[in-house]
Structure 1
Amino acid sequence: MRLLSFLKQWRSTAKEALDQGSIFVKFLCLLHVTDRYLVSSTHVYGPSMLPTLNLTGDVILAEHVSHRFGKVELGDVVLVRSPRDPRKMVTKRVLGLEGHRVTFSADPLVDDGSVSVVVPKGHVWIQGDNLYASTDSRYFGPVPYGLIQGKALLRVWPPDSFGRLR
């Protein structure tokens, strides 16, 4: 009898633990889907987006839906998988969409000469806000639309700079 009572109690405890584990796993799945496909926070640092983003690093909130439906517009700040190093993510501003003619200074430090390019179909032209310290489309050309991973919505850190990115 004691063994039967023990087994019933153990079964009840095991079932409760499995139920709680199942809820935890479901929560983690929801967290993953939200972070990967809906909205996530990203730490952005470096000089390329000065003065829009700080050199020492800002935390931005990025959404991962609109670019999948072709809703990227001129002036949007986007997260892009680096064409040079696919393990890295870069944050840049969209300055040209497919079919647009973009004119830029090839090297603003050296000369005033400008170059003009037409952005091919399925690509965007991205540049950092700091022309003197940004590796962007001026160096690696138009970026395939498929490399866009998200669109920046808000700066959430530091608190005194909280708000929309313009």
Structure 2
Amino acid sequence: MGALSKLSQWRTLAREAAERTAILAKFLCILHVTNTYICTPTLVYGPSMLPTFNLTGDVLLVENLTVWMGKVRPGDVVLVRSPENPRKTVSKRILGMEGDRVTFTIDPKNSNRCQSVVVPKGHIWIQGDNIYSSHDSRNFGPVPYGLIQGKVFFRHTWNPHQA
């Protein structure tokens, strides 16, 4: 009878472990779906979006649904996969959509020369808010719409020294 009791305990323990594993798997699936398709947190750093974002310590929430529905517009700040380095993402402001004429200063540090371009079909024109220190469409041209990862809808300035 002792052996049956131990076997029963092992079955109960195995059942409980399986239930907890299933709960963890469901949680991870929900987390993955939320992060991939709905909302993604990301850290930003660098001077290109000053004064909108700080040099360091800003946490952004980026939603993906607006992009999938084709509802991003000029003025929106978006997270974009870099057209020059696919392992890097950049946050920039949309200045033009397909068909828009965008006029920009070629080299704002050294001259006031301007150039105009018409954004081609399926592309956007992005620039950082700090035109003196931003690597953007002025450098690499229009960006394919498919590289947009999401639209920024919330910013929180996080300072680990205050925690």
Q: TM-score range by the shorter chain?
A: over 0.9
Secondary structure of the residue that 2:42 maps to in structure 1? strand
Q: Quote the residue 1:44 is aligned against.
A: 44
Partner residue of 2:33? Answer: 33
- Structure 1 unaligned segments of length 5 or more: list them: 160-166
Normalised by the size of structure 2, how large is the TM-score? 0.94
Counterpart CA distance in 2 for 1:69 and 1:141 is 24
Matched with 1:58 is: 58
Q: Is the 8 A contact 1:46 1:57 kept in 2?
A: no
Q: 2:89 matched to 1:89?
A: yes
TM alignment of 1:3-22, pairs within 5 A? 3-22=3-22
Aligned letter for 1:26? Answer: K
Q: What does residue 74 of structure 2 align with?
A: 74
The RMSD of aligned alpha carbons is 1.1
Structure 1 length-normalised TM: 0.93
Q: State the Cα deviation string for residues 49-106 of structure 1 (Å, max 9, x = none).
A: 0010001231111111110110101100000000011001100000000000001011
Unaligned segments of structure 2, at least 5 residues: none
Q: CA deviation at 1:147?
A: 0.2
Q: How many residues align?
A: 159
After TM superposition, the structure 1 stretch with the greater mean CA deviation from structure 2, 149-158 or 139-148, is: 149-158
Output the amino acid matched with 1:24: L
Letter in 1 for 2:45: Y
CA contact (8 A) 1:50 1:130 kept: yes
Runs of 4+ that moved beyond 2 A? none
Percent identity among equivalent residues? 62
Q: What is the alpha-carbon distance in structure 2 between the residues aligned to residue 40 and residue 144 of structure 1?
A: 21
SS of 1:132's equivalent in the other structure is helix
